[in-house]
Amino acid sequence: MVGKSILENGVRIVTERVEGAHSVTIGLWVENGSRHESVLQSGISHFLEHMLFKGTERRSALDISREIDSVGGFLNGFTGREYSCYYIRILAEHLPIAVDLLVDIAINSRLDTADIEKERRVILQELHMLEDTPDDLVHDLFSQTFWGDHPLGQSILGSVETVSTIGREDLIDFHQRHYCARRMIVSAAGDLEHETLVEQFAQIFSRLTHGEEMPLSSLPDYGRHAEVVERDHEQVHLCLGARGLPQNHPNRFALYLLNTILGSSMSSRLFQRVREDRGLAYSIYSYLNSHTDAGSLVLYAGTAPDDAIQVIELMLAELRRLRNEEVSDEELTFAKRQLRGNLLLSMESTDNRMTRLAKNEIYLGQHPSYKDVLAGFSRVTPEALRKLAEFICQDSYLNLQMVGPVNQVEYERWSLSLD
């Protein structure tokens, strides 16, 4: 059973009691990410996420770590393109500690100058590590290629140039404008009582202001691009992608099934054809990037330079096949059973339940039951999948990003086409 309350200042609290659980996972989500940054401050959301763990007026960074470790809990955070999250997994008996700690780090961070300079060095090392990890870097570059100058294309980490120039006043101003009540969501799942949690947050969030509305940037345009980055590596890492759907699109259930059939597991078409049948890649898969108003379907592979053209052609062939041929009833039923199993297994994790609650609140504004989700999958037909693939798989929306010894790939003789 999902409970939802909205505090007077606009903070939303959504919870799910999990019978038999001994723990609670509680997250403080802020509807703020790399999409909400200016070009000159690219990476500031991620920088701020790091800084909020570095101490408050009441707790040092060591105090924060020790307080969680002393009760066997786990504390972490992450930044996305449209949200930031700080979460704690803890025994239910220690939930008041988690509530107090989350609020303290979210709104009372010192943002000390010396800590900022130390953490700047850490983030710069994170950026260098990304540059040295081509199978991660290619996804970041693909987003930049796919979305172009739109804010969705900005790197979550920022760049060496922007991270080097972000100062304390920038962080304070960004924090004050973006970490306001109307943009905050408390999401919790496990052994808890909704009303008790609401009372706790109502007391300590009372002085948080509602904040100003910050509309999203304009809708992104879908285009056709191909970019290559030459690097001295053993493999060529490539992402081939097309437009997808927003998070709340009515056809999202069909898109999940299409991705499952295409490349989300070892039984998928891509894995079987590229790895099992041809032995052309160790890592081959597809995934979805869905946002408030737009999305992408991305296919990834790491392969030898001599095999890159063939891998891309096989990827195109699978997209073409989805567009031109209806999947069999048997294959669609298999995919539905797979997603059903994935969904039900995810229910055993309070982390997953907490995340699901928050994302449903952000993107749907409501909380469909697991039965509703499974019913959404069950309604998808082979014809609906083919029509969706026809909508997605068009030459004008194809994008390619390659990283590695690309000069060894004779890509000029190859045409990026599904026709």
> What amino acid positions are annotated as catalytic residues?
49
DSSP per residue, 372-418: HHHHHHHT--HHHHHHHHHHH--GGG-EEEEEESGGGS-GGG-----
- Cα 31 to Cα 263, 272, 332, 349: the distances in Å are 30, 39, 35, 23
Which two structure tokens, joined as six digits, stand for 226? 């191909």
What sign results for the dihedral spanned by CA atoms 102, 25, 296, 406? positive
Q: What is the 3-state secondary structure (H, E, C) of 18-49?
A: CCCCCEEEEEEEECCCHHHCCHHHCCHHHHHH
- Separation of alpha carbons 90 and 365, rounded Å: 27
Angle made by CA atoms 57, 59, 64, in degrees to the nearest 5 = 145
Which residue has 């802020």 as its token pair? Answer: 30
- Separation of alpha carbons 54 and 100, rounded Å: 16
Strands 12-17 and 184-190, sheet pairing? parallel
Note whether 112 and 52 are within 8 A (CB): no
Q: Point out which residues pair with 187 in neighbouring strands.
A: 14, 27
* H helix or E strand, kind and range, residue 258: helix 252-263
Note whether 27 and 87 are within 8 A (CB): yes
Note whether 266 and 311 are within 8 A (CB): no
- Cα 187 to Cα 30, 79, 336, 353, 356: the distances in Å are 11, 16, 28, 9, 9
Q: Point out which residues pair with 278 in neighbouring strands.
A: none
